[in-house]
Amino acid sequence: MASFESGAHPSGLPAVALRAGEGGQHSACVLLHGGHVVSWAVDGVEQLFVSAKAMYAPPKAVRGGIPVCWPQFSDLGPCATQHGFARNLGWTLAGGGVEEEGAAWAELRLVDSPETRAAWPHAFALTLRVTLSADGALRCALRALNPGDASLTFTCALHTYLRVDDVRAGNASVRGLAGAAYLDNLGGRERKAQPGDRQALTFVAETDRIYLSVPDALHLHCGGSGRGVAVRTRGLPDAVVWTPWEAKGLSMADLGDEWPFLVCVEAAAVERPVVLQPGEAWEGVQTLTAERTA
């Protein structure tokens, strides 16, 4: 039973609720604020991390879920604001419904405005299509169109906060990065290499890395619960991996003592910015699948 419903999030912010699966046992919620997925539950088990201290107060972005970082990731672009402006603005609901295969979908849209042009002097049309499949997979397709008469260049990321058991236990890990180059955000963005021998990246301290040209399938092991998430991508060749650890986590008013329960695996286009000539479009897709992992 799949459904699409437009309404309000418990915070009062306008949102879209998706359900899928035979008994509607899978769900997702997307805020129009920021085009921000704030919940993805498979068989009723929440897979995303959203801070209990998150502020649902536009223009601030909700701490957690899947913030859309566009038209830049971090400070890698001309915008004064970290991660660009898409996550801070109100999007419109362009459509939604159910598909024959039992999936539910919603499409949100953000176009240029005097406010965005003041920050980034370009016309654009950005859409995010979120699809919740009958098997519980969550597909986020971000599409950018250049309707203007000049080229536009951007970096971006789907800043996905995944819920882990407790990073302090040392058994959360990301597989698929062996041998990949990365820029260490904690070391002046020095280019380093992930050891090729060890299969998994594990966490013992703050970790903030931009992995470059990674495989199109990564796997997060969430810890002793055996939960895991597969992250499959198209058009997003890089992956940012971040967990804040104690000092940084406690310094963030909208995170605090919940820092042990998140690892961000962020499908991104960073090393090679996307360049769209007039009339051209680009699409980056991330598909998340809940897994049982040993």
Active site positions, annotated? 159, 266
Distance CA 153, CA 146 (A): 10
Q: From residue 231, give the alpha-carbon distance in Å to each of 72, 89, 104, 139.
A: 21, 26, 20, 10
Residue 12 in tokens: 């009062």
Residues touching ligand TA6, count (CB under 6 A): 10
Residue 102 CB, shortest distance to ligand TA6, in Å, is: 33
Residue 122 CB, shortest distance to ligand TA6, in Å, is: 22
Residue nearer to ligand TA6 on the CB measure, 184 or 283: 184
Place of tokens 């039992």: 102
Cβ atoms 264, 242 nearer than 8 A:
yes
Residue 241 CB, shortest distance to ligand TA6, in Å, is: 8
**Does residue number 185 form part of the binding site for ligand TA6 (CB under 6 A)?**
yes
Residue nearer to ligand TA6 on the CB measure, 35 or 96: 35
Distance CA 37, CA 29 (A): 6
Residue nearer to ligand TA6 on the CB measure, 54 or 132: 54
Other Cβ atoms less than 10 A from the Cβ of 75: the count is 13
Binding mask 139-178 for ligand TA6 (x = CB under 6 A): --------------------x-------------------
**Does residue number 266 form part of the binding site for ligand TA6 (CB under 6 A)?**
yes
Cβ atoms 52, 38 nearer than 8 A:
no
Residue 247 CB, shortest distance to ligand TA6, in Å, is: 13
Say if residue 216 is exposed, middle or buried (CB neighbours under 10 Å; 0-12, 13-18, 19+). Answer: middle
Residue nearer to ligand TA6 on the CB measure, 19 or 159: 159
Distance CA 268, CA 69 (A): 9
Residue nearer to ligand TA6 on the CB measure, 102 or 256: 256
Residue 49 CB, shortest distance to ligand TA6, in Å, is: 12
**Contacting residue, 49, 154, 242, 245, with ligand TA6 by CB under 6 A:** 242
**Contacting residue, 137, 220, 240, 290, with ligand TA6 by CB under 6 A:** 240
CA 153 to chain centre: 20
Residue 98 in tokens: 């159910």
Q: From residue 184, give the alpha-carbon distance in Å to each of 19, 49, 228.
A: 38, 23, 25
**Contacting residue, 31, 70, 108, 208, with ligand TA6 by CB under 6 A:** 208
Q: Which residues inside 29-88 make contact with ligand TA6, applying CB under 6 A? A: 74, 82-83
DSSP3 helix / strand / coil % (the chain, rounded to 5):
10, 50, 45
Of 186, 182, 112, 177, the C-alpha closest to 150 is: 112
Residue 157 CB, shortest distance to ligand TA6, in Å, is: 7
Return residues touching ligand TA6 (CB under 6 A). Answer: 74, 82-83, 159, 185, 208, 240, 242, 264, 266
